[in-house]
Amino acid sequence: MQSRTLFFSLLLPLFLAGGLVTAEAQSIKKLSGEPLEIKTLNGHIQHLLDSLEMAGLSVGIINDAELVYHEVFGVQNRTSGVPVNRETIFEGASLSKPIFAYFALKMAEKGILDLDRPLHQYMPHPAIAEDSQEDYQLITARMVLSHSAGFPNHSNGQQIELPFKPGAGFRYSGEAYQYLAAIIGQLHGVGWKAEFNKIFEREVSRQLGMEHTSFLWNDYLAAHKAYGHKDGEPTHNDTGGWSGKTFNAFSSIHSEASEYAKFLIAMLKGTGLKPETRDEMLREHNHFAEDEPMRQETGQTGWGLGFAQKPTPYGLMHLHTGNNHSFQAYAMIVPEQQYGLVIFCNSDQLLPFLEGLEQILGEQF
């Protein structure tokens, strides 16, 4: 577990519902291509849920670019015991970033955003430290989406100092993603609140059939969101520390496994983007040096436009975690195998859960 803590920390239900697998299809394929019985998988997940004292889960597995497994486990609230169901919504945290990158690339296809134009030409950032002003002029959308801009994860109102020349290093940054969102909002003349979310819905979520996935708070989320859990205790099922009114490109997505899987399937099939754009999104844009802590701790070798990347025996894995502490999430695809996995949980134990899941599914993270 210790070897994977770095990546997870950066990206700051006991009832079982029926799945997508029919009576005729009693197994799914692992990433390796080996079959795995659904009954065995369900039992293993339930065991992990119980042993880790997790609250709830929404899990999806993709085979041949189709969602073949969707199950929910556990409870929305460990105090009330209300079970998770197919409509239960979770915070996706940093799973916001890959789908926002997909949205940004759609804006590039439309000619609204140039991935290689310096961002200061669109809208200057007001909080760049004086000694970083010259390097700041180099930052582009491509650098933001691949975490090579040099921005911190969050500036917390402080002046931003760049530790390396943009494009020449890795520094994971939600701050940079929100800066890019602000620019795209300005280019549409709408800022980054309700009107921005409407553009995202028109360009992405409606196109992909993600009916209840949202970056902004709404009545559906209020009626269907699970409670988060920290150290086994319920926290909140409302907006928490977020206003609910701002499109936080780095963290505010709310969804569940079957809906987010539609985005992963779009990435596998190339839906919604030109083939060359989809390939560009999955190409490496930020190669990690051998001494990069992320590489040493996780085995990941770089970043595309939105997803981290890790070589596996079965092809290049494109992955992302989400960590809002009392809600955590994970998504990955391996295009060479047309395989994917997505997990949402309302507790703080997803990392050990993933490690336990690998005991039966093989490498997933």
Give residue 90's Cα distance to chain centre. Answer: 12
Please report which helix (H) or strand (E) contains residue 78, including its range.
none
| Two structure tokens written together for 57 | 């889960």
pLDDT tens, position by position, 220-238: 999 999 999 999 999 999 9
Mean pLDDT of the chain, nearest integer: 93
Domains of the chain: 2-361 (3.40.710.10)
Answer yes or no: are the C-beta atoms of 181 and 216 closer than 8 Å: no
> Hey, how many other C-beta atoms are within 10 angstroms of the C-beta on 291?
7
Give how far Cα 250 sits from Cα of 23, 91, 240, Å.
40, 12, 16
**What is residue 96's predicted lDDT score, i.e. its pLDDT?**
99
**What is residue 191's predicted lDDT score, i.e. its pLDDT?**
81
Answer yes or no: are the C-beta atoms of 246 and 191 closer than 8 Å: no
| Two structure tokens written together for 117 | 């134009």
Residue 80, burial from CB neighbour count under 10 angstroms (0-12, 13-18, 19+) = exposed
Q: Residue 101 pLDDT more than 60?
A: yes
| Stretch 278-285: mean pLDDT | 98
Distance CA 245, CA 283 (A): 33
Please report which helix (H) or strand (E) contains residue 36, including its range.
strand 35-37
Cβ neighbours of residue 293 closer than 8 Å, sequence gap 6 or more: 6
Length of the chain: 365
pLDDT tens, position by position, 207-219: 999 999 999 999 9
Residue 25 banded pLDDT, cuts 50, 70, 90: low
**What is residue 4's predicted lDDT score, i.e. its pLDDT?**
52
Residue 240 banded pLDDT, cuts 50, 70, 90: confident
Please report which helix (H) or strand (E) contains residue 339, including its range.
strand 339-345
The verdict on pTM exceeding 0.95 is: no
**Four-residue CA torsion sign, 44, 330, 56, 84:** negative
